């Protein structure tokens, strides 16, 4: 519990009063708060001079006489009188000390056993002054010059500015990523998709065939196209192509025990496009045409053999470019752009798990150790890429 103490007096009068109280407390007397002191002796005349506190020179009370006479003490208990402090220089005190009276232990000048009076302005001995903990003053922040007040609409717009900047940065970042993935020549915010070519459905050539019940597998998208040749005779009649495709199907699904024909599309020398593997021409069906890179790609087979020196019909290359432009355009891929694929089979040119970079329109020989699609058709791949890009509306 904290006890209230009055603040310490710092004035000169207070200091003098404290010195006087300390002196009287040491002598064992009570009070003289009225300003009277013991008589001072004049050594020259031998007479006693009044103290500084006695202006009139009259006899003081029993608490200290200025004339040097002995005054009775107020001892109400015994009725006896005791000499006071104001005796002359020639007199002896009751304790034998010349010129000074010393009260007994535990007694005061009045004879009563009272504790010494404590000044309200003094701390008890042995107690240190408690340090004052001042609360730090709050620093008032500097208020910048505000100028004219902005309208509420302007303040709301400024508050939304950081969010708008963040959204703009995200849009620019997405545009840059999309542009890098789809290659040059594509306008921002547009999807370059080539026109869908005429495709003969699977039922035209698969009538009378039996297909295994293995489920169709799909990838996320088609990122590249691999071009093949069927390694079959070139002098065929275009009306006989459904029979040729059925023969290819029986060789792959029957003799090799595949679940279906491996190519997603087949193109004859007249430029007709046929649906190959089941699952839907617009969907990213996983084929069986390129070891290690069947997922995420489409296989387009040119019916015939196109080794070095063999002419490649223009109608065939245009049809291949049309299919590549439309199929890659569904994923927004530029036929001329490089794409990165991950090998899933170590029988390919790359070990399983290895990442490889191809052109979006590549040859079978790029991913597998083979001469397919033949040197003549491989030499026509750059022109096929350019035509496919033009069909997508790219420059």
142 within some domain = no
Within this chain, do residues 305 and 177 fall inside the same structural domain, yes or no? no
- Whether 41 and 60 share a structural domain: yes
Whether residue 214 sits in one domain with residue 169: no
Contact 296, 226 (CB under 8 A): no
Q: At 204, which CATH number? A: 3.40.80.10
Q: Are residues 214 and 182 in the same domain?
A: no
Q: What is the pLDDT of residue 20?
A: 75
8 Å CB contact between 376 and 310: yes
Per-residue pLDDT of the chain (395 residues; tens, 9 = 90+): 555 555 554 556 667 777 777 776 666 544 433 444 444 444 334 444 443 434 333 333 334 333 343 333 344 333 444 444 444 434 434 344 455 555 555 544 454 555 555 555 565 565 566 655 566 666 565 555 455 556 777 666 666 767 677 667 666 655 443 443 444 444 434 467 889 999 999 999 988 777 666 789 999 999 999 999 999 999 999 999 999 999 999 999 888 888 899 999 999 999 999 999 999 999 999 999 999 999 999 999 999 999 999 999 999 999 999 999 999 999 999 999 999 999 999 999 999 999 999 999 999 999 999 999 999 999 999 999 999 999 999 98
Which domain, by its residues, includes 87?
6-121
Nearest to 49 by CA among 27, 68, 35: 68
Which residue is associated with the tokens 């890429």?
385
Q: How far apart, in Å, are the Cα atoms of 119 and each of 6, 107, 293, 309?
A: 11, 19, 104, 128
Pair (184, 220) in one structural domain: no
Q: Are residues 164 and 205 located together in one domain of the fold?
A: no
Cα torsion 333, 335, 337, 342: sign: positive
pLDDT computed for residue 332 by the predictor = 94
In a domain? residue 152: no
pLDDT (0 to 100) of residue 395: 84
For residues 176 and 212, membership in a common domain is answered with no
What is the per-residue pLDDT for 15? 73
Distances in Å between the Cα of 380 and the Cα atoms of 274, 299, 317, 373 are 21, 17, 8, 10
pLDDT at res. 141: 58
Same domain, 179 and 250: no
Domain final position from 74, 91, 121: 121
Question: Rounded to an integer, what distance in angstroms lies between the CA atom of residue 225 and that of residue 235?
Answer: 26
pTM for the model stands at 0.55
Instruction: Bin 28: left if φ > 0, else alpha if -120 < ψ < 50, else beta.
Output: left
Q: Is residue 147 part of a domain?
A: no
Q: Which residues pair with 302 in a beta bridge?
A: 229, 267
The encoded tokens of residue 220 equal: 């996320």
User: Phi and psi at residue 206, in whole multiples of 5°?
Assistant: -95, 10
Instruction: Indicate whether 109 belongs to any domain.
Output: yes
Predicted local confidence at residue 256, as pLDDT: 86
Q: What is the rounded distance in angstroms from the CA atom of residue 298 to the CA atom of residue 227?
A: 9
Is residue 1 in some structural domain? no
Q: Is residue 76 part of a domain?
A: yes
Per the domain annotation, does 151 fall within a domain?
no
Domains in the chain, number: 3
Judgement on whether residues 275 and 369 belong to the same structural domain of the protein: yes
In the prediction, which pLDDT does 140 show? 62
Which of 167, 190, 213 delimits the end of a domain? 190
Let me know if residue 139 belongs to a domain: no
Three-point CA angle 317, 319, 322, nearest 5°: 110
Q: Return the residue matching tokens 């001072």.
A: 40
**Sheet strands (E) in 249-394:** 265-267, 273-275, 297-302, 338-342, 355-359, 361-363
The answer to whether residues 178 and 214 belong to one domain is no
Residues 205 and 354 placed together within one structural domain of the fold: yes
State which of 121, 150, 179 marks the end of a domain: 121
Output the pLDDT for position 114: 55
Is residue 298 within 8 A of residue 276, CB to CB? The reply is no
Q: Are residues 292 and 344 in contact, defined by beta-carbon separation less than 8 angstroms?
A: yes
Residues 343 and 236 in one domain: yes
DSSP 199-210: EE-GGGT-TT--
d(CA 332, CA 151): 46
């Amino acid at each position: 519990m904290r006890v209230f103490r009055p603040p310490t007096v710092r004035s000169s009068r207070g200091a003098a009063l404290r010195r006087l109280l300390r002196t009287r407390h040491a002598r064992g007397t009570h009070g003289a708060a009225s300003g009277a002191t013991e008589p001072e002796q004049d050594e020259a005349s031998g007479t006693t001079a009044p103290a500084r506190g006695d202006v009139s020179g009259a006899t003081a009370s029993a608490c200290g006489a200025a004339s040097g006479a002995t005054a009775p003490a107020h001892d109400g208990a015994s009725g006896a009188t005791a000499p006071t402090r104001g005796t002359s220089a020639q007199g002896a005190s009751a304790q034998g000390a010349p010129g000074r009276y010393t009260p007994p232990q535990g007694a005061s000048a009045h004879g009563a056993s009272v504790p010494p009076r404590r000044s309200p302005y003094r701390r008890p001995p042995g107690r240190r002054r408690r340090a004052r903990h001042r609360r730090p003053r709050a620093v008032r922040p500097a208020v910048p010059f505000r100028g004219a007040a902005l309208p509420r609409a302007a303040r709301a717009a400024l508050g939304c500015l950081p969010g708008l900047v963040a959204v703009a940065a995200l849009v620019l970042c997405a545009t840059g990523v999309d542009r890098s993935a789809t290659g040059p020549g594509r306008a921002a915010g547009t999807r370059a998709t080539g026109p869908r070519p005429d495709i003969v459905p699977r039922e035209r050539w698969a009538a009378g065939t039996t297909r295994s019940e293995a489920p169709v597998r799909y990838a996320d998208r088609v990122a590249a196209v691999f071009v093949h040749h069927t390694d079959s005779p070139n002098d065929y009649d275009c009306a006989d192509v459904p029979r040729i495709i059925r023969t290819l199907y029986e060789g792959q699904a029957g003799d090799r025990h595949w679940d279906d024909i491996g190519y997603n599309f087949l193109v004859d020398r007249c430029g007709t496009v046929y649906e190959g593997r089941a699952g839907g021409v617009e969907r990213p069906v996983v084929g069986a045409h390129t070891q290690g890179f069947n997922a995420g790609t489409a296989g387009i087979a040119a019916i015939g053999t196109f080794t070095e020196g063999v002419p490649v019909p223009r109608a065939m290359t245009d049809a291949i470019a049309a299919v590549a432009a439309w199929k890659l355009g569904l994923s927004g891929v530029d036929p001329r752009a490089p794409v990165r694929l991950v090998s899933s089979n170590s029988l390919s040119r790359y070990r399983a798990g290895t990442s490889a970079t191809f052109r979006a329109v590549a040859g079978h020989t790029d991913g597998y150790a083979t001469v397919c699609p033949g040197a003549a058709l491989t030499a026509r791949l750059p022109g096929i890429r350019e035509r496919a890009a033009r069909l997508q509306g790219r420059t």
